[in-house]
Amino acid sequence: MEIAMIGTGYVGLVTGTCFAESGNQVTCVDIDQSKIDRLKRGEIPIYEPGLTELVQRNSKAGRLIFTSSTVDAVSNAKIVYLAVGTPQSDDGSANLSALWNVVAGIAPYIDDDTIIVTKSTVPVGTNQGIYERLFAANQKYYRVASNPEFLKEGAAINDFMYPDRVVVGTRESETAEVLKELYSPFLRTDKPFLNMSPESAELTKYVANALLATKISFINEMANLCEAMSGDINDVRRGIGHDQRIGFAFLFPGVGYGGSCFPKDVRALAAMARNNDLPPTILDAVDEVNNSQKNVLMKKIERHYGGNLAGMRIAVWGLAFKPKTDDIREAPAIVLIKQLLQMGANVVVFDPEAMENVREEELGDSVDYAEQAMDALEGAHALAINTEWDMFRHPDFDEMKRKMKTPVIFDGRNLYDPKVMREQGFTYYSIGRPPTVSETLVEA
């Protein structure tokens, strides 16, 4: 099929590339000419495992084209996907200004048999709003569908190629059949194609993310309770996770969620509830717990050092909000770094993918950027871990102790066994577990 993908951000680029990989002719559009030029050269502006190879292969085959011309992209397209950003407004609701600009821009160039599909995360009623704006522009009846995405950063290619389900919202059975055919290569293992109303599809995306965020905030709140009462959250997590009604997914304690989806979508869903005179009690609590959890490592550091961090050198491993991405939007690490700087500490950071994005934050001269993880530990009074990159899971502890001024670790992702850390001679703080004081320090 001829597909136009408006927007080459994370969702648009992954979606367009995967559609091209399944044999469709895809033209991706973006108003940022520099981004288009980079994509034409095979340079990917985001880090996502496997994406570079797919873009380069399909571009070479001629199935994936990049342009800044909306006219060229949509004029012959059977399906036009809208995948532009919907950032958070001041009141928490989604800002649809970019989406409405795109709708106005494509209106003169689409036929009435063109299917317009919203891939952006949008509030309920947006599908109807797109239809009304297109009809007002051309006095024609258009087929407008919703097709929310459920991609995890760091695993987006696999999520798209092997989805748990495909959700679409349509008002015409013919539109649903076209989209079902488009997705058929990815549903060969009998995963469901769920057709529903556009309003239900729009809600499904928000509700899914809000529920996952709720699980994270819940386990983090329980972790703090475990720690206060000398329990171990990992034991509790196993105790509840084997209950088939609960399961283990998204029940790993940490320093809070970040990224471009969960924070924004929880607040947007809460805003929708308030606009309908419904108090979003749980959603507000989820957001509040998560914001508080981002302070948990700083509180541990302050308690350990008695609030005196002036001149201390603190190493930070992990800057992205999760592994296998370079995304630092609402990342807990950035919150921690700013707090450390406010307390007068010097900070040295390392992340295998997100370093350049953090440099662009311009955090100041008191932040150093290490070439390797071990380099960050040279002369450090402590190490704070924020992201569970695999490369951090099995470090050389002897080398760490040689490099560090004092062997103290604040682990925001529970990467290590407290017993092992004690034996290795580290003072070790984690999430939801009692702190461990090294045998060396105890003997001293």
Q: What is the mean pLDDT of the chain?
A: 95
- State the Cα–Cα distance between residues 381 and 165, nearest whole angstrom: 48
Determine the length of the chain: 444
Q: Which fold has domain 2-196?
A: Rossmann fold (3.40.50)
- pLDDT > 90 fraction of the chain, expressed in percent and rounded: 95
**Pairing mode of beta strands 367-369, 346-350:** parallel
pLDDT for 439? 57
Q: Which listed residue (18, 28, 226, 261) is catalytic?
A: 261
- What local confidence, expressed as pLDDT, does residue 196 receive? 98
User: With pLDDT > 70 as the criterion, what percentage of the chain qualifies?
Assistant: 99
pLDDT at residue number 194: 98
Let me know if 226 is a catalytic residue.
Answer: no
Per-residue DSSP letter, 257: -
List, for residues 62-81, the tens digit of each pLDDT value.
Answer: 999 999 999 999 999 999 99
pLDDT at 444: 35
Mean pLDDT of all residues in 116-124: 96
pLDDT at position 328 is: 96
Element (H, E) at 293: helix 281-293
At residue 295, the pLDDT reads 98
Are 2-196 and 206-292 equal in CATH topology? Answer: no
384-407 mean pLDDT:
97
pLDDT recorded at residue 260: 87
pLDDT tens per residue, range 248-260: 999 999 999 999 8
pLDDT exceeds cutoff 50 at 443? no
Domain boundaries, the chain: 2-196, 206-292, 294-443
What region, left, alpha or beta, does residue 218 occupy, with left being phi > 0 and alpha being psi -120 to 50 degrees? alpha
- pLDDT above 60 (res 440): no
CATH superfamily name and code, 294-443: NAD(P)-binding Rossmann-like Domain (3.40.50.720)
Give the pLDDT mean for 368-372.
97
The CATH number of 206-292, from 3.30.360.10, 3.30.70.260, 3.40.50.10490, 1.10.1040.10, is: 1.10.1040.10
- Assess whether pLDDT exceeds 60 at residue 441: no
Predicted confidence band of residue 442 (pLDDT cuts 50, 70, 90): very low
C-alpha radius of gyration, the chain, whole number: 24
Q: Give the closest residue to 339 by CA, choosing from 372, 375, 297.
A: 297
